[in-house]
Amino acid sequence: MMSVIEVKDVSASYRKNQVLHNVNFEVQPGTLTAIIGPNGAGKSTLLKVLLELHPKLSGSVSFLGSNLKRMKKRIGYVPQRGSVDWDFPTHALDVVTMGLYGHIGWFRRPNRKHVERAMACLKQMGMEDYAYRQISQLSGGQQQRVFLARALVQDADLYFMDEPLAGVDAATEKAIMHTLKELKEQGKTVMVVHHDLQTVEDYFDHVLLLNRSVWAHGPTKEVFTQDNVYRTYGGTLRWMKEA
């Protein structure tokens, strides 16, 4: 089977420090992968490099054997919630509609059908009652759901998500994970930067252990071992569930 993502020898630096060193991996379609690793391991940078939001020093990235430019419309991205200013004057539905701007075409206005599609995605995230609420008045979890709805409306085949579960309540976590599993069942490929080691086994079928380079990658059952996690975190990990 052809890989959805093929990353070869990718290196990248961030403010003079090399954060990614010869990263290699391939991702199969229809998988739900957690990217885990300690702080500063280059998890967010990896996503940004894949999406060409951050320059790489060397290496190559291909999507279904093609380059990013051709695949842009089939890739969805959920940035970290803290990466935008939530004081921006707009409402939840409008943010979700932004996910359709690529489809609408530049310099054209969204029509009623576009707004209906956005509304359906908000509903899928259980946010329809907040559609016209100012985004500054939403809670952290609600903001995260809006971001996810915006990704859903893109109707992509491949999703990259940067810590979608960071700082959200249990209900939101459940709603988001339910959605991710649905995406997977539809045959879509999802890569998620994740930081809660305790939920990895329940939520994800694949794991990529990253600390500047890939320490282990594969099905969760085979790869997510105490040994591998300990090596990736380089002894900084004090706690580990006792078997």
Partner 1 sequence: MLSYLSPNTQWVLLSTLILGIAAGMIGCLAYWKRQSLMSDALSHAALPGVVIAFALTGVKSLPVLVLGAAISSLLGALLIQGIRSSSRIKEDTAMGIILSVFFGFGIMMLTIVSRSAGGSQSGLDGFIFGQAASMVRQDVYTMLIMAALVILVVFAGFKEWKLFLFDPDFAKGMGLSGKWMNSLYLSVLVLVIVIGIQAVGVILMAALLIIPSVSARYWSSSFRSMVICSGVFGGAAGMTGSLLSSIGNGWPTGPFVVLASSAIFLVSLIFGAEKGLLVQALQLRRQKKRHHSNSWQHKTVHVKEAE
Output 77 or 203, the one with its CB closest to partner 1. 77
Question: Angle, to 10 degrees, between the axis of helix 112-124 and the axis of helix 140-153?
Answer: 130
Output 150 or 217, the one with its CB closest to partner 1. 150
The nearest distance, CB 239 to partner 1, in angstroms, is 33
The nearest distance, CB 147 to partner 1, in angstroms, is 9
The nearest distance, CB 44 to partner 1, in angstroms, is 11
Output 26 or 52, the one with its CB closest to partner 1. 52
Separation of alpha carbons 10 and 237, rounded Å:
26
Output 104 or 197, the one with its CB closest to partner 1. 104
Cα distances from 169 to residues 141, 145, 202, in angstroms, run 6, 11, 17
Closest CA to 190 of 158, 147, 221: 158
The nearest distance, CB 158 to partner 1, in angstroms, is 12
Give the distance from CA 180 to its chain's centroid. 10
Strands 58-63 and 32-36: unpaired
The nearest distance, CB 89 to partner 1, in angstroms, is 5
String of DSSP letters for 202-242: HH-SEEEEEESEEEEEEEHHHH--HHHHHHHHTT-------
The nearest distance, CB 2 to partner 1, in angstroms, is 23
Amino acid residing at 26: E
The Cα angle at residue 81 between residues 123 and 64, in degrees rounded to 5: 80
Give the binding site for partner 1 (CB under 8 A).
48, 51-53, 69, 72-73, 75, 77, 79, 83-85, 88-91, 94-95, 98, 101-102, 104, 106-107, 109-110, 134, 150
Output 110 or 140, the one with its CB closest to partner 1. 110
Output 154 or 211, the one with its CB closest to partner 1. 154
